[in-house]
Amino acid sequence: MAAAHRVAAIAVSGSPGRRDVLQNLAAVTGCCNTGGMERQEVPGASGLLSEVAAAEAELRAAADRDRGGDGAGVAAGDELAAYFDEVVGADQKIEPRDWMPEAYRKGLVRQIAQHAHSEIIGMQPEGNWLSRAPSLARKAILLAKVQDEAGHGLYLYAAAETLGVSRAELFDKLLSGRQKYSSIFNYPTLTWADVGAIGWLVDGAAIVNQVPLCRCSYGPYARAMIRICKEESFHQRQGFDLLYTLARGTDEQRAMAQDAVDRWWYPSLAMFGPPDAESTHSTQSMAWKIKRFSNDELRQKFVDMTAQQAEVLGLNLPDEALGYDQPSGHWRYTQPDFGELMRVISGDGPCNRQRIEHRRRAHDDGAWVRDSAAAYAAKQRTRKAAA
Amino acid sequence: MTVENGQSTVDSQDWPLWEVFVRPRRGLAHSHVGSLHASDAELAVRNARDLYTRRQEGVSIWVVPAAAITASSPDEKDAFFEPAGDKVYRHPTFYPVPEGVEHL
């Protein structure tokens, strides 16, 4: 709960009176949540966080290290390519103005844009519950989380822009469906427990996916991911905490939590993408150190982490075949329906049209704010010039 | 992305790009944390506060129009910084210190 307390406090910093009120509320919630029991640590989460810290340390260490060669007098295309390979090979970062293969640039734009779009569209399913959160403390936490998603989207758009695309171009491609966002956000949030399931499962899966990206060979993306992952762990914690509370509530609350987990489990597994054999972008991404692990490896890691957490929660993962395999040290599990994943990605999920429609409306509704700010800035410039 | 001077085209997409620098604590230097778009400097500072200091990451923010930054070219990096390459005598460690000398 420490993270939640801090968030509640930060959310209203600047008004001391209200801060106290909220902190007290958060403290009370914390007390009710645990019901006097020892709160168990979420298994796996701290390990992932230390991986983020390690990636950050590695980034600094790589910057201090010398590359294999010094790339003196580079000019010809071959030499540029060799230099690029050398930098990537030495686990150093490629920076915006460095030469890079066109396919590397394009692939990164596609991936970072898709990632940014996912953060922005991802605000909608949870935003749906902001006005109906069951307490002020929960509302403050959810607000902070949804605000974080907006921030993550902006970090990522900024990273994509360093590759020579404009923000307008990216928005346009999202709204016209030419760039995708994660399939998971096309599922509806039917109950309050869905907010918990998204935090625990969806953000949990996102963290497993994103932690290796902190070591990505493209500097701006790696740095954005380090920032994001540090913030993301609060998201997973609050989701776990929410479900933990419901799982220890009334029968209805418990049933609501179980129902949410039942609905979000397989879509969360599908977030890791198609099985390795069918993954189109993987091989080259691995060679360029954009991607570090295969879809199936990451999916397995997520299952291993989550199966254990489900036991602590006292909720069932909806998979009869789920079981620990002693010899391999991994959990056996049933694969998600990849046919469904493909259908949802190609536009035929439960909420695809609604999500894009909402984004378009939000963008249009915000036009007057952007116009006013631009007009004001222009007026100020004119006045300054006249003075 | 260029900074548009004069009349705005009244579209957020033409909001200039700003580079953001945050001083984490008193006594530390401002360091670059990322960039954002804003219509003017004042809003850039406010946006930077909302985007880069949601968790009390800083005590001071600088914003600089990205277009105002002149950078050395990475292609010329080696030639550009070459003059310092053969001047190892600028480092104190270049000089042997005889046994027994203190406070040097």
Nearest CA in chain A to B15: A374
* Cα distances (Å, whole numbers) of residue A128 to A75, A97, A201, A241, A244: 54, 41, 18, 19, 21
Whether residues B10 and A71 touch (CB distance < 8 A) is answered with no
Distance of CA A136 to the CA centre of its chain: 25
Q: How many CB atoms lie within 10 A of CB A74?
A: 21
pLDDT band per the 50, 70, 90 thresholds, residue B9 = very low
Q: Is the pLDDT of residue A364 over 50?
A: yes
Q: Give the pLDDT band of residue B64 (cuts 50, 70, 90).
A: very high
Longest dimension (CA), chain B: 73
> pLDDT grade, residue A67 (50/70/90)?
low
Do B40 and A377 count as a contact with CB atoms less than 8 A apart? yes
Nearest by CB to residue B36, choosing from A158, A224, A371, is A158
| Amino acid type, A172 | D
What distances in angstroms separate CA A185 from CA A122, A365, B79, one per listed residue? 6, 22, 50
Residue A249 has what pLDDT?
A: 96
Tell me if B6 and A381 make a contact (CB, 8 A cut-off). Answer: yes
Q: Which amino acid belongs to residue A222?
A: A
What pLDDT score was predicted for residue A60?
76
How high is the pLDDT of residue A65?
65
Please compute the mean of the pLDDT values over residues A258-273 and round it to a whole number: 97
Percent of chain A at pLDDT > 70 equals: 84
Name the residue type at position A86. Answer: E
Within the 132-161 window of chain A, which residues sit less than 8 Å (CB to CB) from chain B? 144, 147-148, 151, 154-155, 158, 161
Report the amino acid identity of residue A167.
Answer: R
> What six digits make up the tokens of A62?
């790589």
Nearest by CB: A374 against B5, B12, B78 = B12
- Chain A residues whose beta carbon lies within 8 Å of the beta carbon of residue B57: none
Cα A15 to Cα A209: distance, rounded to the nearest angstrom:
38
Residue A358: CB atoms within 10 Å: 16
B39 touches chain A (CB under 8 A): yes
Between CA A187 and CA A345 the distance in angstroms is 11
Tell me the chain B residues in contact with residue A378 when contact means C-beta distances shorter than 8 Å.
6-8
Q: Which residue of B has its CA nearest to A231?
A: B55
For residue A15, pLDDT over 60 is answered with no
From the number of C-beta atoms within 10 Å of its C-beta (0-12, 13-18, 19+), residue A304 rates as: middle
Looking at A11-20, A46-55, A119-128, A236-245, which range is the least confident one?
A: A11-20
A 302-321 residues inside an 8 A Cβ radius of B: none
Question: What's the pLDDT band for A379 if we cut at 50, 70, 90?
Answer: very high
- The answer to whether the CB of B27 falls within 8 A of the CB of B74 is no
Distance (Å) from the C-alpha of residue B8 to the closest C-alpha of chain A?
6
Name the average pLDDT for chain A: 85
Judged by average pLDDT, the poorest of A51-65, A125-139, A185-199, A201-215 is: A51-65
Q: How far apart are CA A280 and CA A290, in angstroms?
A: 14
* Rg of chain A on CA atoms, in Å: 23
Task: Tell me if B53 sits within 8 A of B22, measured CB to CB.
Answer: yes
CA distances from B52 to A182, A224, A382 (A): 24, 11, 30
Q: What is the pLDDT of residues A87-108, one digit of tens each?
A: 999 989 999 988 999 999 999 9
- What residue type is A184 in one-letter code? I
Cβ <8 Å between B56 and A10: yes
Between CA A375 and CA A20 the distance in angstroms is 40
pLDDT given at position A18: 44
Contact A231 B55 (CB under 8 A): yes
Interface test with B, best of A167, A226, A228, A235 (most B CBs within 10 A): A167
Q: Which amino acid is at A3?
A: A
Q: What is the ipTM of this complex?
A: 0.76
d(CA A233, CA A3): 9
pLDDT the model gives residue A272: 95
Beta strands in chain A (DSSP E): 323-325, 330-332
Closest CA in chain A for residue B71: A97
**Does pLDDT of B12 surpass 50?**
no
B34 with A158: Cβ contact below 8 A: yes
Q: What is the pLDDT of residue B75?
A: 73
Output the pLDDT for position A9.
Answer: 36
Say if residue A11's pLDDT is above 60: no
User: Cβ separation of A375 and B51 shorter than 8 Å?
Assistant: no
CA dihedral A134, A135, A139, A140 (to 10 degrees): -170
Inform me whether the C-beta atom of residue B5 falls under 8 Å from chain A C-beta atoms. yes
Q: What percent of chain A has pLDDT over 90?
A: 70
Distance from the Cα of residue A70 to its chain's centroid? 36
Residue A306 C-alpha, separation from nearest chain B C-alpha, in angstroms? 28
**Which of A86, A148, A154 to mutate to probe the B interface, most B CBs <10 Å?**
A154
**With contacts defined as CB-CB under 8 Å, which chain B residues touch A13?**
56
> What does the pLDDT look like over A157-213, one tens digit per residue?
999 999 999 999 999 999 999 999 999 999 999 999 999 999 999 999 999 999 999
Identify the band that residue A368 occupies on the pLDDT scale cut at 50, 70 and 90. very high
At B13 the pLDDT is: 53
Average pLDDT over residues A231-250: 94
